[in-house]
Structure 1
């Protein structure tokens, strides 16, 4: 599984409200849906004038200048640093074969694959800062499901999964604070894997900021491997 394939799956399963190619860029209109759907990415090494043009275009969207920096974007990273951009959210891209997470059945009444989301799922996501704009991102995705977790006979967490070709990307994993450190997230990921397997996926992937030590430890313990990394370069202008 190549990084390029994974980044294509990220784009497809968490889609921007609009995107278009302009010069060396893919520019995204996030409509308030967060950094991933608002960041510009480079298709070729830009010049200074290209950066200024991208900044102006993002300003028209009412977005701060924001660029996603992947491993191949080292020169762009230096150019943006020189322009006063700071690093934001270094992130690991994890992937593993679906079969690695379907070796154990999910216990009964522990995790349910549901779409459209139930009100309780929206409430759980809202507690983690995942509001209507990000729900709109989910609605734009193609083949998808929500996952509702229960533990101790109570709602415990929610997540979103979507397919791109043979990859299932899991996004918006949110476990309620009182239900954490009890293995709930493991069952969420396993439920996503069984759903993915049923729909023909061979691999399952998830994103995790490097600062989230608990989640990184979880994904490593489940057999996920880091297959890519990225961070953002951001400069405050108008408020994203």
Structure 2
């Protein structure tokens, strides 16, 4: 299995869909519409012409009452992107998948609490900080509760306030970082850096040798942070959405 395939598999497991449909080497993910990542068609080992795949995917997502979204990694090749662009699908959210050897990293994490289960405190704070309404909060919680591998939920405290959140999922040699966020008023003070290092440190205790994460190319602050920690881009992907 290539590194890209391995990372894709880990990320699928770490951010699970409610349902998965397989068609001609494509993985079609369904999760009630919460996040494009869990509600998109993804190439794995394509075996059919893309015309047939596109028709199948569009019919399935229409049946589910969801927009048709293709998530295109290097595993898809070039043809799907060309055909979708010609069909009027807009490119959105180009994203970098970055990795980092775990190594011997230590966080100054006295104010960071890790828990193996999702608590109401974590869920409430994360939803408030990200502006999730009741429906999206319920969908987010349902997604997190179906993760099969070990999870660490991180909460950052400062001056008696809950100011940051994140989670990590460990599977084999990999630990994935997700939902990393710090309250705007507390950014630029090193809290995000310590949060990331704390989650990576936890991953090492689970046997991980490499950390990975996904960050949109437009998030310049996050990219600068991750690069300063040593993360390097392994590959990129983007979505195609019918406008």
TM-score normalised by L of structure 1: 0.91
Show structure 2 runs of 5+ residues with no match: none
Structure 1 position 208 matched with structure 2 position 215: yes
- 2:185 and 2:120 map into 1 onto residues whose CA distance is 19
- 1:57 and 1:113 map into 2 onto residues whose CA distance is 39
Q: Paired residue for 2:59?
A: 56
3-state SS of the aligned residue for 1:36?
A: coil
Q: How does 1:20-99 map to 2 (within 5 A)?
A: 20-42=21-43, 43-44=45-46, 46-73=49-76, 74-99=78-103
TM-score normalised by L of structure 2: 0.90
Q: Aligned-pair distance for 1:152?
A: 3.4
Q: Paired residue for 1:134?
A: 140
Q: Paired residue for 1:106?
A: 108
Structure 1 position 118 matched with structure 2 position 112: no
Q: Paired residue for 1:199?
A: 206
Q: Aligned-pair distance for 1:129?
A: 4.2
Equivalenced residue count is 233
1:58–1:65 Cα contact (<8 Å) kept: yes
Q: Paired residue for 2:156?
A: 149
Instruction: Check 1:104–1:168 CA distance in 2 against 1; reply closer, same or farther (3 A cut).
Output: same
Q: Paired residue for 1:8?
A: 9
2:174 to 143, 148, 167: 167
Per-residue Cα deviation, 1:167-190 (whole angstroms, up to 9, x for no partner)? 111111121111111111111111
Show structure 1 runs of 5+ residues with no match: none
RMSD: 1.7
